[in-house]
Amino acid sequence: MDVLKKIPVREQDPKERATNFKEVCLGYNQEEAQEEAQRCINCKNAKCIQGCPVAINIPKFIAEVKDGKFEDAANTIAESSALPAVCGRVCPQESQCEGKCIRGIKGEPISIGKLERFVADWSRENGFVPAKPEKTNGLKVAVIGSGPAGLTCAGDLAKMGYEVTIFEALHEPGGVLTYGIPEFRLPKSGVVRPEIENVKKLGVEIETNVIIGKSVTIDELMDEEGFKAVFIGSGAGLPKFMGIPGETACGVFSANEYLTRNNLMKSFDENYDTPIAKGHKVAVVGGGNVAMDAARTALRFGAEVHIVYRRSEEELPARVEEVHHAKEEGIIFDLLTNPVEILVGDDGWVKGIRCIRMELGEPDASGRRRPVEVPGSEFDMDVDMVIMSLGTSPNPLISSTTEGLETDRRKCIVASEDVGATSKPGVFAGGDAVTGAATVILAMGAGKDAARGIHEYLSQK
């Protein structure tokens, strides 16, 4: 074994997977996991833990994997994370735990994410169930939204003895894990649902089809329904558009709608009566994880897919692994290119996009070099579908129906950094609703901090 290199992980062949919705990465088996775990040198001052927003005791669980004590490893992870099979698959480990791993200085860091995934999958396959608290303290807490922030906050509060109810607007819980991230990266029935079931086994109730701000307000929950505190984890599900001509044509989707139709309404499954329009040549505008997911979904429906992104490859915000997978599968990258108009046929459907070439100028406020239009470089691309993936912001429904809840100019809820306390007493918030679109693990970290904050708040009352 070369200790400087990761044990490679098995993946579905790119040609084969480009035509199906089955999971791309197959994960480690027991032997591979134990071999990878042997590379960890069990640092005393483990930098990897500092890189993990929920502070999993990484060296401890890796040592347990090395010794074949998989149930102990599952317990170690469960102390800090309610969603290890999810995080092991979708966390940006390269910039978090693995980015800090000491092994990464001379060689490749430990595959912490793949080991976490192995332990979580092993637990599920072997019927490991987290322990339920013995009795509750009788205090009711409401959690709005069942994404990673809400699930984590609810799970942690339930472990402390609170009676927690999650209110979810959609008919399925899970937030972006269920409606956003595609099946081929994060299987729903095999991975997401069992982890949600584990949260329910801690005693958490989930009520779906309840839109807070429409079905019931936060004030009603607190004044009339006996909830002593509320956590808002309602995410950032409102898509942005470019504001260019033709954007309202048939065949223009937000990535959010496109992915929701596929994941939640199962348009990829012939047994469902909720199909989606399938393009022959599709342009996905944007360069983040969401753009990669939309592009790879359209590819699986048989389209030629172009990522249209206004900066260069270096600035692509998507995870390196996602870009690599997208390229392997045959996605075409049209970089330093920006749409200026969507061309619409007489039938009202998209028939192309007019783009302009870009070049990189001086760095902007984000530190990345600013894309500048090259005058006179417009050209047309024939496409029959456009998917806009330009980011999302929080839906203002909750803030507009809750008196005393402060938001900033981006419509994000203002909350304290340490425990997510908002301007309204007893109301806490975290995840994308506070930060704008971010990551699963940051949302989980915020849910954890808020659970601590709610406990402190209610203990002082």
395 near ligand FAD (CB under 6 A): yes
Residue placing its CB nearer to ligand FAD in the complex, 34 or 260: 260
Region from 35-43, 87-95, 325-333, 436-444 binding ligand SF4, contact rule CB under 6 A: 35-43
51 near ligand FAD (CB under 6 A): no
Q: Rule CB under 6 A: choose which of 24, 46, 164, 196 binds ligand SF4.
A: 46
Residue placing its CB nearer to ligand SF4 in the complex, 59 or 287: 59
Among ligand SF4, ligand FAD, none, what binds residue 46 when CB lies within 5 to 8 Å by partner kind? ligand SF4
Per-residue contact track with ligand FAD, 57 to 96, x per CB under 6 A? ---------------------------------xxx----
H helix or E strand, kind and range, residue 380: strand 379-381
Instruction: Tell me the C-alpha to C-alpha distance, in Å, between residue 154 and each of 127, 160, 258, 268.
Output: 22, 10, 29, 32
Instruction: Tell me the C-alpha to C-alpha distance, in Å, between residue 126 and each of 74, 118, 120, 302.
Output: 11, 12, 10, 37
Among ligand FAD, ligand SF4, none, what binds residue 24 when CB lies within 5 to 8 Å by partner kind? none
Distance (Å, rounded) from C-alpha 79 to C-alpha 427?
25
Distance (Å, rounded) from C-alpha 258 to C-alpha 176?
13
Region from 74-82, 210-218, 220-228, 301-309 binding ligand FAD, contact rule CB under 6 A: 210-218
Exposure pattern of 146-163 as b/e (b: 16+ CB <10 Å)? bbbbbbbbbbbbbbbebb
110 near ligand SF4 (CB under 6 A): yes
3-class DSSP assignment, residue 138: coil
Tell me the site size for ligand SF4, rule CB under 6 A: 15
To ligand FAD, the closest distance from the beta carbon of 221 in angstroms equals: 11
414 near ligand SF4 (CB under 6 A): no
Taking the CA atoms of residue 382, residue 386, residue 390 and residue 391 in that order, the dihedral angle to the nearest 10 degrees is -160
56 near ligand SF4 (CB under 6 A): no
371 near ligand SF4 (CB under 6 A): no
109 near ligand FAD (CB under 6 A): no
Distance (Å, rounded) from C-alpha 118 to C-alpha 121?
5
Q: Which two tokens stand for residue 394?
A: 């929080």
451 near ligand SF4 (CB under 6 A): no
Q: What is the pairing mode between strands 350-363 and 163-167?
A: unpaired
Check if the beta carbon of residue 100 is closer than 8 Å to that of residue 112.
no
Residue placing its CB nearer to ligand FAD in the complex, 168 or 329: 168
50 near ligand SF4 (CB under 6 A): no
Q: Rule CB under 6 A: choose which of 293, 329, 384, 449 binds ligand FAD.
A: 293
Among ligand SF4, ligand FAD, none, what binds residue 153 when CB lies within 5 to 8 Å by partner kind? none
Q: Rule CB under 6 A: choose which of 102, 244, 360, 381 binds ligand SF4.
A: 102
Check if the beta carbon of residue 397 is closer than 8 Å to that of residue 390.
no
Amino acid, res. 329 = E
Radius of gyration of the chain (CA): 23
> How many other C-beta atoms can be found within 10 angstroms of the C-beta atom of residue 382?
12
Check if the beta carbon of residue 353 is closer than 8 Å to that of residue 342.
yes
Distance (Å, rounded) from C-alpha 75 to C-alpha 84?
11
Distance (Å, rounded) from C-alpha 450 to C-alpha 430?
7
Residue placing its CB nearer to ligand FAD in the complex, 150 or 420: 150
Q: Rule CB under 6 A: choose which of 343, 432, 448, 451 binds ligand FAD.
A: 432
146 near ligand FAD (CB under 6 A): yes
Tally of residues, the chain: 461
By the criterion CB under 6 A, which residues form the site for ligand SF4?
A: 40-43, 46-48, 58-59, 62, 101-103, 110, 112
By the criterion CB under 6 A, which residues form the site for ligand FAD?
A: 90-92, 144-150, 167-170, 175-176, 180-181, 211-213, 233-235, 237, 259, 289-290, 293, 395, 397-398, 431-433, 437-441, 443
